[in-house]
Amino acid sequence: MREQAEQRLRELQQEFESGQQMLADLQEKEAKLQQTLLRISGAMQVLQELLKTDEAEVSGNSQVVEGEVEALV
Report the alpha-carbon distance of residue 63 to residue 57 in Å, rounded. 10
Three-class secondary structure of residue 20 per DSSP: helix
* 27-52 pLDDT, tens digit each: 999 999 999 999 999 999 999 999 99
* 11-27 pLDDT, tens digit each: 999 999 999 999 999 99
Residue 24 confidence (pLDDT):
98
> CB neighbours (10 Å) of residue 66?
10
Report the alpha-carbon distance of residue 39 to residue 14 in Å, rounded. 38
